[in-house]
């Protein structure tokens, strides 16, 4: 959700913090702020502080005038320290007061926070009673005041980490926290419970970040913090201690992401770049994972649990948003190819309901690009706490979900920066198909020749997507023609029911128009009442086993004057008689039509939103990674 960057070392902290927070802006962008301490000797620490509403560029412009000139005058210093934050509002409107960093009554303890403090109202009331004055409506501010209170109780020369530890014992909720006390100007404190945080290791300098992308330019050596970790960082090193018990030993990891993937290059938006990356990202996701000689998938991440897969009788699938829709499609693949019963449910509902697990024969499978989605993590933890075997299909290496599952398959698609998920979806679906084939072979429900035809077709998908991208002018033209419409219905059946949901989600999140995705069959049970000449339907209607039924639904819409945009298989010469516009996708196996159709829908949403003047990479009210429930 919110982005956090911290720095302690011998360099100028300001550019490091701004550069880092810009990379994290996709996590939240309604306001931002920073505090910097410049430490010259034990008695002399200068503090610089500023906040701004809106995008990080607003903060950057502000500090250019307020902080930079003053900082530039300080040429000699022992160390600099700083924490920075970009916010996605939970408690309190986006405003300067509610932007982080928050501070205590004396403006000595500064904190930035990602997460939710569930008992903040009670704590705040108690603190106000003891004389604390609050400057914001946020839940986060109580942390600074609580630490101040604990410091008071400890009296005398107390180390900030002790006060933080005591304060956090009182807190119920989730947090990724960076804390700076001006009285200990070479110490950066970090703490984590449920919200992601990592330490970047440099030479004589250390970084904190809620997401590795913030610091990759500075270092690739990182240590991921775990729940209930408290870390102390100084220019001389870092140590991780437990909040409640001794922390386990951590080994630093090297992140091998390509920095080029974090730049837009010649593309106008990350969303467009990532749509165009799909031939490559699918190739990256399948590289080395198909044994074409023996017609079977090779998923190294599942090697250790492969024998357990034989006992699976039910697969429980979860995720959120686009990742959930990839899971929904994978459910169909698993049932069809492996003949194993599968259920799929959004994680936000899943973990609130009583689940009846069969621990020896259930498999919990979750999908998440970021690996940090709080709802998905909660669902996973629930399944794990009941002893159920868990797998993850995750992109971000070392993320919370990837570290919590028993085993998994990484997507290897590089960073996805656009808030609207695109390349993550197609990669997840392809990996879902590989998993279904693997299960089918393990359970002997799929013949080798059937596996072969699926695996051969997967290999061809990058080329077929490339064809859609090459011919995308038509999609742009259709999007432009329809840009004045404010309501859309997305319809699909069987494998393309999840496609309809994904198409609608893409359109609403980047263009803010009303869009509903549903199965074509569902439409006549109520929603058809909305249809008239002002309400277009986007129908995913490839030549597949449900083609005729879809055609009947299209006729029903046409009979009520509803404009139809059809996504159909090339060579279908009859569809034009019903549809107002047709966009063709190359022929493929029925199970893979959703992948090709989704690329069309991604491009449609993109061009439609651009035509309406929307900021597709940073849609209003959204954040890339939703780390609160
Ligand atoms: O990082 P995750 O894949 O777990 O994220 C899940 C959803 O929040 C995400 O897919 C969201 O729906 C996207 N913005 C959709 O484009």
How confident is the model over 122-133, as pLDDT tens digits? 999 999 999 999
- Dihedral-angle region of residue 414 (phi above 0 means left; psi in -120 to 50 means alpha; beta otherwise): left
Sign of CA dihedral 70, 75, 81, 83: positive
Q: Which residues line ligand 1 (CB under 6 A)?
A: 320-323, 368-370, 373, 376, 419-421, 505, 509, 625-626
Asked whether the predicted pLDDT for residue 190 surpasses 70, the reply is yes
Name which residue sits closest to atom 14 of ligand 1, judged by CA.
420
Choose the most confident range, by mean pLDDT, from 53-67, 455-469, 518-532: 455-469
Among the residue ranges 56-65, 83-92, 365-374, 542-551, the one predicted with the least confidence is 83-92
293 is catalytic: no
How far is 606 from 543, CA to CA, in rounded Å? 26
Query: Which pairing describes strands 362-368 and 314-319: parallel, antiparallel, or unpaired?
Result: parallel
What is the reported pLDDT for 412?
92
pLDDT digits (tens, 9 = 90+) for 309-353: 999 999 999 999 999 999 999 999 999 999 999 999 999 999 888
How far is 88 from 108, CA to CA, in rounded Å? 25
Instruction: Determine what percent of the chain is predicted with pLDDT higher than 90.
Output: 80
- The three-state DSSP-derived secondary structure of 401-458 is HHHHCCEEEECCCCCCCCCCCCHHHHHHHHHHHHHHHHHHHHCCCCCHHHHHHHHHHH
Higher per-residue pLDDT: 116 or 262: 116
What domains are defined for the chain? 3-255 (3.60.20.10), 262-464 (3.40.50.10490), 472-611 (3.40.50.10490)
How far is 263 from 617, CA to CA, in rounded Å? 13
Tell me how far CA of residue 522 lies from CA of 502, 526, 531, 541, in angstroms: 16, 8, 14, 15
Asked whether the predicted pLDDT for residue 2 surpasses 80, the reply is yes
Instruction: Give the residue, out of 347, 421, 609, 623, with the most ligand 1 atoms within 8 A of its beta carbon, to mutate for a pocket test.
Output: 421
Asked whether the predicted pLDDT for residue 91 surpasses 60, the reply is yes
- Residue 118 near residue 140, CB atoms below 8 Å: no
Asked whether the predicted pLDDT for residue 590 surpasses 70, the reply is yes
How far is 279 from 413, CA to CA, in rounded Å? 11
State which ligand 1 atom lies nearest to the alpha carbon of 626: 8
How far is 452 from 2, CA to CA, in rounded Å? 45
Tell me how far CA of residue 471 lies from CA of 86, 573, 583, 586, 594, in angstroms: 38, 18, 10, 11, 18
pTM of the model: 0.82
Asked whether the predicted pLDDT for residue 42 surpasses 60, the reply is no
Residue 178's Cβ-count burial label (10 Å; 0-12, 13-18, 19+) is buried
Residue bearing tokens 């360099």? 11
What is the reported pLDDT for 154?
87
Grade residue 55 by pLDDT with cuts at 50, 70 and 90.
confident
Higher per-residue pLDDT: 455 or 304: 455
How many angstroms separate the alpha carbon of residue 118 from the centre of ligand 1?
24
Tell me how far CA of residue 103 lies from CA of 8, 146, 180, in angstroms: 19, 10, 10
Mean local confidence (pLDDT), 409-436: 95
2 is catalytic: yes
Residue bearing tokens 């924490």? 83
Strand partners, 450: none
Instruction: Determine what percent of the chain is predicted with pLDDT higher than 70.
Output: 98
How many angstroms separate the alpha carbon of residue 378 from the centre of ligand 1?
15
Tokens representing 401 are 């979900």
How far is 223 from 205, CA to CA, in rounded Å? 14
Residue bearing tokens 């408290």? 230
Asked whether the predicted pLDDT for residue 395 surpasses 80, the reply is yes
- The three-state DSSP-derived secondary structure of 350-374 is HCCCCCCCCCCCEEEEEEECCCCCH
Instruction: Give the residue, out of 27, 269, 373, 376, with the most ligand 1 atoms within 8 A of its beta carbon, to mutate for a pocket test.
Output: 373
Asked whether the predicted pLDDT for residue 573 surpasses 80, the reply is yes
What is the reported pLDDT for 458?
98
What is the reported pLDDT for 90?
79
Among the residue ranges 69-78, 370-379, 383-392, 489-498, the one predicted with the least confidence is 69-78
Asked whether the predicted pLDDT for residue 493 surpasses 80, the reply is yes
Mean local confidence (pLDDT), 514-524: 94
């Amino acid at each position: 959700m919110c982005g956090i960057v911290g720095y302690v070392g011998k360099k100028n902290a300001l550019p490091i913090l701004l550069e880092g927070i810009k990379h994290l802006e996709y996590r939240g962008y309604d306001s931002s702020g920073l505090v910097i301490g410049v430490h010259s000797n034990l008695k002399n620490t200068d503090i610089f502080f500023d906040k701004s509403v809106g995008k990080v560029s607003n903060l950057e412009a502000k500090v250019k005038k307020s902080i930079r000139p003053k900082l530039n005058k300080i040429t000699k210093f022992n160390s600099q320290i700083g924490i920075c934050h970009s916010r996605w509002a939970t408690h309190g409107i986006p405003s300067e007061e509610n932007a982080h960093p928050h501070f205590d009554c004396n403006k000595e303890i500064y904190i930035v926070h990602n997460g939710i403090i569930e008992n903040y109202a009670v704590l705040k009331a108690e603190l106000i009673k003891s004389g604390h004055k609050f400057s914001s409506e946020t839940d986060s501010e109580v942390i600074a005041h609580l630490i101040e209170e604990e410091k008071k109780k400890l009296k005398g020369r107390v180390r900030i980490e002790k006060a933080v530890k005591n304060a956090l014992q009182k807190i119920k909720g989730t947090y990724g926290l960076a804390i700076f006390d001006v009285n200990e100007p070479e110490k950066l404190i970090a703490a984590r419970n449920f919200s992601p945080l990592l330490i970047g290791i440099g030479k004589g300098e250390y970084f904190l970040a809620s997401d590795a992308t913030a610091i990759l330019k500075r270092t690739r050596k990182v240590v991921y913090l775990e729940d209930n970790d408290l870390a102390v960082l100084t220019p001389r090193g870092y140590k991780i201690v437990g909040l409640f018990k001794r922390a386990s030993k951590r080994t630093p990891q090297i992140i091998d992401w390509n920095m080029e993937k974090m730049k837009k290059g010649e593309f106008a938006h990350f969303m467009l770049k990532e749509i165009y990356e799909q031939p490559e990202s699918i190739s990256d996701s399948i590289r080395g994972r198909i044994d074409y000689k023996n017609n079977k998938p090779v998923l190294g991440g599942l090697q250790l649990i492969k024998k357990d897969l034989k006992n699976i009788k039910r697969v429980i699938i979860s995720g959120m948003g686009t990742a959930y829709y990839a899971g929904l499609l994978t459910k169909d693949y698993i049932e069809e190819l492996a003949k194993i019963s599968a259920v799929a449910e959004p994680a936000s509902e899943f973990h609130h309901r009583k689940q009846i697990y069969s621990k020896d024969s259930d498999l919990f499978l979750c999908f998440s690009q970021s690996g940090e989605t709080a709802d998905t993590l909660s669902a996973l933890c629930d399944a794990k706490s009941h002893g159920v075997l868990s797998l993850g299909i995750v992109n971000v290496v070392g993320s919370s979900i990837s570290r919590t599952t028993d085993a998994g398959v990484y997507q290897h698609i590089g960073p996805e920066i656009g808030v609207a998920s695109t390349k993550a979806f197609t990669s997840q679906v392809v990996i879902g198909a590989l998993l279904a084939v693997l299960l089918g072979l393990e359970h002997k429900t799929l013949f080798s020749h059937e596996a072969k035809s699926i695996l051969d077709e997967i290999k061809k998908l990058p080329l077929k997507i490339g064809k859609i991208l090459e011919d995308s002018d038509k999609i742009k033209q259709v999007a432009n023609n329809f840009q004045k419409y404010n309501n859309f219905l997305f319809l699909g059946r069987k494998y393309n029911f999840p496609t309809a949901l994904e198409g609608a989600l893409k359109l609403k999140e980047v263009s803010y128009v009303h869009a509903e995705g549903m199965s074509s069959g569902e439409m006549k049970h109520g929603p058809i009442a909305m249809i008239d000449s002002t309400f277009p339907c986007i129908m995913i209607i490839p030549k597949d086993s449900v083609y005729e039924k879809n055609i009947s639904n299209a006729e029903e819409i046409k009979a009520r004057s509803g404009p139809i945009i059809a996504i159909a298989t090339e060579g279908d010469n009859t569809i034009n008689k019903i549809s107002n516009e047709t966009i063709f996708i190359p022929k493929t196996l029925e199970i893979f039509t959703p992948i090709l159709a989704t690329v069309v829908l991604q491009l449609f949403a993109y061009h439609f939103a651009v035509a309406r003047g929307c900021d597709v990479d940073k849609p209003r009210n959204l954040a890339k990674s939703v780390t609160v429930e």
